[in-house]
């Protein structure tokens, strides 16, 4: 999947159509169609911009990629006021996006995006491979509760970008660089009352709160995966643990595992260079892989 010729170092915006006609805002690094080698799916509460640095790096390695905002997130469409959000809608969206691509891409999914990709693959998506970013079919409930608590902590929004940056810094104290207004531009929208709120539909928190009920279904989906799989976990994650990783590797014995010890659940944001290297190596033909790297790096 790796080409010698680098692609232009910029992203092009476009739109896909998801299930039920919902518009899905997307970006691509390189040509669309048959040339897309990687499809990125972000996590709950994120946007496709979470993948920008990785997409540009893949482009320099000659790998065309695309990413989209999940429904209810970022610039993508939202459900009608009388329509609940349901996990099935996100899976159907992934299948709709996959149907537009002539060549099977590798799905790289973080958190919710990874679980959606896993489920879509079990329903015939035909991805060439899966890269699951700090997510497994069984996850630590306490870690999920912490994420949801942060997401729901400011229903009335923020006074300004500095207020939002302070809250993010408190939630991610290990990050050395504080978010700037430019960094937050795609994460916040200004309401009619002048206050800044998260870009995602607040109904998502209520409608998808009981996602743990799908763990057995996701485990069954994982057992049937017969394409190459890479799990990238963060050593400081409170969602994925040694136990959930071991459970996943039992379900998918052929999966590779890369452990990034300093990353939290926000793997691509915490250690983007190491994460992107792991993805590029996974995409490389087997003879060019580093034979010294173990399939599963030891956890502390």
What pLDDT sits at residue 81? 94
Stretch 246-251: mean pLDDT: 98
pLDDT digits (tens, 9 = 90+) for 52-87: 999 999 999 999 999 999 999 999 999 999 999 999
Give pLDDT tens digits for 179-232.
777 778 888 999 999 999 999 999 999 999 887 788 999 999 999 999 999 999
Summarised one tens digit per residue, pLDDT across range 125-155 is 999 999 999 999 999 999 988 888 988 989 9
> Is the predicted pLDDT of residue 298 greater than 70, yes or no?
no
Average pLDDT, whole number, for the chain? 90
**Using CA of residue 259, residue 263, residue 269, residue 272, what is the dihedral sign?**
negative
Q: Which band of pLDDT confidence, cut at 50, 70 and 90, is reported for residue 120?
A: very high
Tell me the domains of the chain and their CATH numbers.
12-148+202-288 (3.40.50.1820), 153-199 (no CATH)
pLDDT at 245 over 80: yes
């Amino acid at each position: 999947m790796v080409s010698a010729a680098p692609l232009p170092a910029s992203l092009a915006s476009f739109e896909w159509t998801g299930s039920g006609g919902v518009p899905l805002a997307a970006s691509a690094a390189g040509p669309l169609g048959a040339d897309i080698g990687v499809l990125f799916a972000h996590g709950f509460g994120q946007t496709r911009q979470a993948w920008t640095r990785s997409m540009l790096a893949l482009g320099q390695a000659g790998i065309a990629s695309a990413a989209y905002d999940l429904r209810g997130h970022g610039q993508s469409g939202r459900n009608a006021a009388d329509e609940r959000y349901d996990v099935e809608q996100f899976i159907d969206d992934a299948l709709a996006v996959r149907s537009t691509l002539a060549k099977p891409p590798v799905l790289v999914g973080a958190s919710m995006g990874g679980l959606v990709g896993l489920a879509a693959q079990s329903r015939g998506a035909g991805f060439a491979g899966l890269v699951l970013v700090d997510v497994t079919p069984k996850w630590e409930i306490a870690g999920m509760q912490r994420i949801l608590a942060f997401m729901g902590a400011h229903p009335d929004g923020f006074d300004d970008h500095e207020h939002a940056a302070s809250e993010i810094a408190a939630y991610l104290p290990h990050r050395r660089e504080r978010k700037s207004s430019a960094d937050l531009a795609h994460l916040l929208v200004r309401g009619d009352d002048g206050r800044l709120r998260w870009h995602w539909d607040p109904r998502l928190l209520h409608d998808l709160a009981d996602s743990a009920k799908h763990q057995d279904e996701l485990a069954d989906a994982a057992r049937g995966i017969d394409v190459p799989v890479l799990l990238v976990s963060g050593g400081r994650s409170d969602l994925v643990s040694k136990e959930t990783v071991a459970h996943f590797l039992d379900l998918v014995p052929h999966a590779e595992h890369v452990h990034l010890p300093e990353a939290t659940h926000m793997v691509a944001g915490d250690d983007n260079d190491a994460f992107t290297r792991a993805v590029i190596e996974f995409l490389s033909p087997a003879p060019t892989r580093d034979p010294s790297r173990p399939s599963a790096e030891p956890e502390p």
